[in-house]
Amino acid sequence: MPDPASPPVWLTLPDGQEVRGRLLSRRWTPSGWRYRITVALWSATNDLNIEPADYVVWIPAGTGTHVRPVDGADYTDVPTEGPPSHPYLAPPPQPADMEWAWTGEQLRFDGPRSRLVGTCVHEYGCPIAPADGPELDLGQALIALARDGAHACQECSAAEVLTRL
């Protein structure tokens, strides 16, 4: 029986293919709503075999080109982190024109006041990224990744996506 907290959605891949995924959660960000989607895709293992793997990614909402609902699916139980309740605390919604969102984390030698030793670029919403990290667009993420001592996170899709660009 399907989990009502993660209903199905249609996900359009960059080459135009449509695959069915699951909506895991929704989150408000400074640049608008993001949907956390999971989809089962093929993945290569270290011993050169192929096996299915769940790929989880945050997708900008509102463009209508990446994610669309499945007819008859109920989305009321999806975990949602909405905007702050007071209107002065939330920026006005902006159109989601970014394909991806990233977060930069400053890495320090020994604690918050020690010298800066590098940067780690995470996909926005990565569970190990700092909650107060700045949201970066693709260009800003690539610039941050090009700096000395910078690397892409291995826990989210940042390393897989950004190192190919």
Query: pLDDT by residue (tens digit) across 26-76?
Result: 887 766 778 889 998 888 888 888 998 888 888 877 655 688 889 998 888
β pairing state of 18-29 and 80-81: parallel
Sign of the Cα pseudo-torsion (104, 105, 109, 112, in order): positive
If one counts every other C-beta atom within 10 angstroms of the C-beta of residue 17, the result is 8
Dist. CA 129–CA 151, nearest whole Å: 13
**Strand, helix or coil for residue 28:** strand
Q: Between vectors from CA 67 to CA 133 and to CA 28, what angle results, nearest 5°?
A: 30
Q: Give this prediction's pTM.
A: 0.52
Of 7-11, 79-83, 100-104, which one has max mean pLDDT?
7-11
| Per-residue DSSP letter, 70 | P
pLDDT of residue 23: 92
If one counts every other C-beta atom within 10 angstroms of the C-beta of residue 96, the result is 19
